[in-house]
Amino acid sequence: MVVWTACRVKFDEPLPPKGAEVTCVDTTCKWGVSAEMTFGPIVLLVAAILIFLGLAVWLGARIRRKRTARAAATQEFPAKWDRLLGSAFPLYRRIPTEVRDPLRRQMLAFMADKNFEACGGLEEVSDEMKLLVAVQACLLVWDDPRVPPYPELRSILFYPSTFRHSADLQFAADDEGVLLEEGSSPMLGESWDSGSVVLSWESVRRGGSNVEDGMNVVIHEFAHQLDQEAGSADGLPRLRTVAEHREWAEAFGAAWEKFTARVHHRRDLVLDPYGATNPAEFFAVASETFFEKARQLRESYPEVYEQLAHFYRLDPAEWRRIVT
């Protein structure tokens, strides 16, 4: 028989094994019950309360974000923003009318929901900066019913130009946000599954203004965000059915083989060779190409074009050419 007192155990006795017979022998013990009866439920109750409070806070924040984003989406889209986008992001002029309205609503919700932060000596994040990211990010999810778009994403960090790579980094927060390690490769953008995207403003501006070179850092990083929503980034974003997964895997698997062989033989490429790094990069690079060199992608990799057209619910190869 295990002899143990509820009062003493508080100070110096180990807890009895679960299910052990317990007798209180301390005459000063006012509880007269086993530790399992005395402390177990209290600990469980405290844990349950903490979990409940945590969930309530999380749910409350989620609901507030939804309300804010929904309210923002009903606001009028300023005409001057349309003009600004028309010049800073020429692809905007090609987007079909039936896509533009839902796209604008997504942009308003996106801009109201995300934190935009200036880093690395950048003084502020202007409306133009927010707009240029919002339009390209939301183009990928223009008819996604989730509110706000990219629900797991909280922050977009802007650096003035390229910043240092942070793959094996020491992460340290300073007054301006994220401090990246010195001595590693310069980066144009990064997508984190912990709720942030980091961008070089110079690259965002250049990528937005040239929409026919197949290079677009915003589309690239937000394609990664969609990939990361489905778990680890592996080139397989969130799809709806098993059949869609199978078709995606077949199409991208075959295209990956063809593409990596072409890169190996230094053949003429439609896609940026950086896409040969791994399947996640292949998907991100194919997404850039899908919007900026749509006809070429459809010709060289029809199976990939078809999958992306279905995924993004868009057919940019059929959009009218830009009249300059």
Residues that bind Zn ion (CB under 5 A): 281, 284
Residue nearest to Zn ion as judged by C-beta position: 284
The nearer residue to Zn ion, 152 or 318, going by C-beta atoms, is: 152
Least distance between Zn ion and beta carbon 46 (Å)? 44
Least distance between Zn ion and beta carbon 294 (Å)? 20
What phi, psi does 269 have (nearest 5°)? -120, 140
The nearer residue to Zn ion, 113 or 281, going by C-beta atoms, is: 281
d(CA 213, CA 293): 7
The nearer residue to Zn ion, 284 or 297, going by C-beta atoms, is: 284
Least distance between Zn ion and beta carbon 224 (Å)? 6
Least distance between Zn ion and beta carbon 108 (Å)? 27
Start-to-end C-alpha separation, the chain: 91
Helix (H) or strand (E) run with residue 242 in it: helix 242-264
CB atoms within 10 A of CB 9: 19
Specify burial of residue 63 (Cβ count, 10 A radius: 0-12, 13-18, 19+).
exposed
Helix (H) or strand (E) run with residue 113 in it: helix 97-113
The nearer residue to Zn ion, 147 or 197, going by C-beta atoms, is: 197
Best CA proximity match to 311, nearest among 223, 232, 231, 214: 223
Least distance between Zn ion and beta carbon 202 (Å)? 17
The nearer residue to Zn ion, 281 or 292, going by C-beta atoms, is: 281
State the maximum Cα–Cα separation within the chain, in Å, rounded to a whole number: 94
The nearer residue to Zn ion, 34 or 203, going by C-beta atoms, is: 203
How many residues make up the chain in this entry?
A: 324
Least distance between Zn ion and beta carbon 159 (Å)? 16
CB atoms within 10 A of CB 127: 14
**Helix (H/G/I), strand (E/B), else coil: 185:** coil
User: Residue 16, preceding bond cis, omega within 30 degrees?
Assistant: no
